[in-house]
């Protein structure tokens, strides 16, 4: 493993494939695997290798800027809503047609392409016949039917789910105690990036205890289910406060930079003012995406904790009815976790889950 891929643990086969590919790259790569398995980090390192004038040693200015997200010839495209739209696909085509800014190659990293849906045909021709200067790196959690044709035009690199021991080992290396590392790995569902963020969250334990307490507080009544859902969503709202504070600071800094630019340049043309406004809109859009991902990740973490409780009750169940109730409960929780990609209303979804779990706790 090269230094560039040091933040992609447990993916030796995928890293070896990308390292070899960088020596003689083709036009498109598809990185597939569950969330949190290192695809995004691997894409950054791979992009650095593709652009590095020194063959990808990880230490040059080009590599540092790519890894830091500041290189103009590496562009990451993310969805705005629940799915990738046709307009977003057209924007990818426009970006692909642009010439590189610094060198003779640029890299387009396309996120969440398991959510491509009807935008697939609009992307096919671009990915199938891109400009010679463009390399696509497509990230997807899985390959749905809509992505089959595009996938056939890419070199596929699979990322395996991280073993719990890999996550635990990385957390302990970061300084977590073994006991805490075990809890974080379980709560993060095998996602190292998520586990590391939880390790630095002072309210993680409070939220964990709230999810652990859910089964004991459900009594089959709608009022209990609604109260629990309100509490859990309230904790979810609090969990994004640090992110919101960081975003507010970023926006204030951008506003200050724009104000200084206007002050220094005096009266500027409409185009320059439009550029400043576009920069604000881009940051606002990025903040919305970050907030959506943070809330979805936090809710998935809570659901993973709750599913673990019901799995424990399954092991302790002494009657077929109780066993069925535990199995059904885990299935309901898993189904909601999978449905979060479609951005359901959080409160209504959690209320419905609490009500269903409550009914099963009574009948089981």
- Domain co-membership, 260 together with 332: yes
Give domain status of residue 232, yes or no.
no
Q: Is the pLDDT of residue 263 over 80?
A: no
pLDDT for res 115: 77
Instruction: Identify the weakest region by mean pLDDT among 72-76, 134-138, 262-266.
Output: 262-266
- Tally helices (H) and strands (E) across the chain: 16, 5
Give domain status of residue 82, yes or no.
yes
- Domain co-membership, 40 together with 169: no
- Domain co-membership, 150 together with 171: no
Quote the CA–CA distance of 313 and 253 in Å, as a whole number.
50
Give domain status of residue 287, yes or no.
yes
Give domain status of residue 213, yes or no.
no
What is the spatial order of strands in the sheet that 74-77 belongs to? 74-77, 106-110, 134-140, 28-32, 155-158
Q: State how many domains the chain has.
A: 3
Residue 104: C-alpha distances to residues 23, 65, 73 (Å): 15, 17, 9
pTM: 0.64
Give domain status of residue 226, yes or no.
no
Sequence-distant (≥ 6) Cβ neighbours of residue 195 within 8 angstroms: 167, 170, 171, 181, 184, 185, 187, 188
pLDDT for res 362: 55
- Domain co-membership, 71 together with 127: yes
For residue 192 the two structure tokens come to 């190292």
Per-residue pLDDT tens over the stretch 187-230: 887 788 888 888 888 888 899 999 999 999 998 888 999 999 99
Give domain status of residue 203, yes or no.
no
By the 8 A CB rule, do 11 and 139 touch? no
- Domain co-membership, 59 together with 78: yes
Q: Stretch 273-292: mean pLDDT, rounded?
A: 75
pLDDT for res 357: 93
Residue where a domain terminates, one of 104, 134, 158: 158
DSSP string, 162-174: PPHHHHHHHHHHH
- Domain co-membership, 170 together with 150: no
Per-chain mean pLDDT for the chain: 85
- Domain co-membership, 33 together with 154: yes
pLDDT for res 1: 44
- Domain co-membership, 192 together with 304: no
pLDDT for res 2: 52
- Domain co-membership, 132 together with 271: no
Per-residue pLDDT tens over the stretch 149-158: 888 999 999 9
Its domain, for residue 182, covers: 162-197
- Domain co-membership, 153 together with 31: yes
CATH number at residue 95: 3.40.50.300
State phi, psi for 80 to the nearest 5 degrees: -90, -35
């Amino acid at each position: 493993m090269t230094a560039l891929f040091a933040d992609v643990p447990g993916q030796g086969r995928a890293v070896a494939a990308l390292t070899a590919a960088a020596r003689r790259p083709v036009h498109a790569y598809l990185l597939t695997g569950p969330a949190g398995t290192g695809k995004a980090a691997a894409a950054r390192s791979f992009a650095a290798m593709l652009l590095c004038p020194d063959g990808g040693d990880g230490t040059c200015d080009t590599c540092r800027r790519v890894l830091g997200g500041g290189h103009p010839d590496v562009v990451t495209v993310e969805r705005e809503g629940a799915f990738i739209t046709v307009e977003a696909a057209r924007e990818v085509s426009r970006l692909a047609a642009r010439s590189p800014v610094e060198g003779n190659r640029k890299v387009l990293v396309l996120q969440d392409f398991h959510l491509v849906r009807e935008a697939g045909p609009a992307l096919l021709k671009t990915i199938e016949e891109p400009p010679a200067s463009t390399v696509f790196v497509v990230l997807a959690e899985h390959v749905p039917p809509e992505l089959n044709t595009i996938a056939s035009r890419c070199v596929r690199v699979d990322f395996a789910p991280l073993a719990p021991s890999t996550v635990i080992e990385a957390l302990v290396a970061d300084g977590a105690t073994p006991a805490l590392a075990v809890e974080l790995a379980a709560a993060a569902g095998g996602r190292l990036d998520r586990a590391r963020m939880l390790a630095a969250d002072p309210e993680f334990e409070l939220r964990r205890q709230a999810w652990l307490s859910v089964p004991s507080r459900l009594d089959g009544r709608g009022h209990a289910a609604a109260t629990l859902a309100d509490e859990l969503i309230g904790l979810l709202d609090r969990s994004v406060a640090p992110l919101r504070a960081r975003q507010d600071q970023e926006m204030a800094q951008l506003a200050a930079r724009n104000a200084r630019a206007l002050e220094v340049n005096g009266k500027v043309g409409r185009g320059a003012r439009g550029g400043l406004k576009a920069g604000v809109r881009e940051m606002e859009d990025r903040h919305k995406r970050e907030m959506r991902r943070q809330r979805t990740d936090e809710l998935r973490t809570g659901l993973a904790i709750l599913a673990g409780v019901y799995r424990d009750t399954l092991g302790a169940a002494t009657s077929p009815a109780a066993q069925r109730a535990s199995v059904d409960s885990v299935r309901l929780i898993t189904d909601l976790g999978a449905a979060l990609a479609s951005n359901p209303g959080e409160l209504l979804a959690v209320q419905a889950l609490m009500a269903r779990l409550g009914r099963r706790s009574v009948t089981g």
